[in-house]
Amino acid sequence: MAALIAENFRFLSLFFKSKDVMIFNGLVALGTVGSEELFSVVAFNCPCSPARNYIYGLAAIGVPALALLLIGVMWNNHTWNLVAECHKRGTKNFSAAATFLLFGSIMGRASVAPITWSVISLLRGEAYICALSEFVKPSSLDKFPADYGAEVLAKFPCRDVPANLTKFRDEVTRRLRYESQLFGWLLIGIVAVLVFLTKCLKHCCSPLSYRQESYWAQYRSNEDKLFRRTAEVHSRILAAKNVKQFFGFVALDKEEKELVQEFPVEGVQPSPQWNAITGVYIYRENKGFPLYSRLHKWAKGVEGNGPTPEGHELLFLAS
């Protein structure tokens, strides 16, 4: 038990610390597999009733997948950057290629968990069998009694059938599980081909060399970590100053006192600066020099979001 808990904490640690896209997507997939297994064991219970089986079986596959897709969309920083971009600047600066690239990035990341859920559900087969057992044609079953119809077939997933129908139940279950697993393997193959073609297209169309793209990824990661860390310290010092002004004193621990003394904060950044560094960013160059982020662009004093006579826009979204 202790080893299992340790492995779970190790998984969570890797999940939240990982910056690599492939590792992140792999961890999402593994987490989804575990969730699907738990759902199948604890929550899935086929009603074994005509007309209800189909709705329940499809809901067991589709509804969690839809919820995971929406969570993935909400979890993606590009989503909220797009919202901020549309709110502050509109989409007039986006070309069709940039828009397609942006939505493809958002949906691609968000699709990892729902696709994994659907694949595992299909490979297990319980939901598919539950949904389609009543639609099996009795005429396709050799010597199936004419007195029984869809109502009895709907009970096959629950094994609640007369003894003389046991062999037919086994045959129907085996047939539907074969179909379900076939669809699952086909889905895996289609997704694998699409991922391969997308990666090839990305690297073929990328204006950056492999080393520069790697450097850009490192820069984005470091900028994000430093920005978040500095923002946390800045907000703490500013809050301390305001609390002290209100009460006349502020209760700080030793570390916080050192921070207040080391980093004097005079005020806050004006809204135009926040707006300038917030939103969707597509890789651009200005006078031949790369601009790796909105913050980098603001620091260099480059105005505007679209291409300029001195600048060259390269449609390559930060992944």
Q: Which of 79 and 238 is assigned the larger pLDDT?
A: 238
pTM of the model: 0.70
Q: Are 118 and 137 found together in one domain? A: yes
Q: Which of 99 and 293 is assigned the larger pLDDT?
A: 293
Q: Are 192 and 85 found together in one domain? A: yes
Q: Are 117 and 214 found together in one domain? A: no
CA distances from 229 to 18, 233, 235, 273, 292 (A): 17, 6, 10, 18, 19
Q: Is residue 264 part of a domain?
A: yes
Q: Is residue 170 part of a domain?
A: yes
Which residues are bridge partners to 269 per DSSP?
A: none
Q: Are 155 and 186 found together in one domain? A: yes
Q: Is residue 229 part of a domain?
A: yes
Q: Which of 205, 230, 247 is where one domain is finished? A: 205
C-alpha span between 279 and 88 (Å, rounded) = 8
Section 209-231 average pLDDT: 91
Which range marks the domain in which residue 107 is found? Answer: 33-205
Q: Are 123 and 189 found together in one domain? A: yes
Q: Which of 309 and 247 is assigned the larger pLDDT?
A: 247
* Residues 6 or more apart in contact with residue 130 via CB below 8 angstroms: 46, 48, 53, 56, 57, 60, 157
pLDDT in tens, 86-108: 776 666 666 666 677 778 888 88
Q: Are 255 and 293 found together in one domain? A: yes
Per-residue pLDDT at 55: 92
Q: Are 105 and 251 found together in one domain? A: no
Q: Which of 42 and 58 is assigned the larger pLDDT?
A: 58
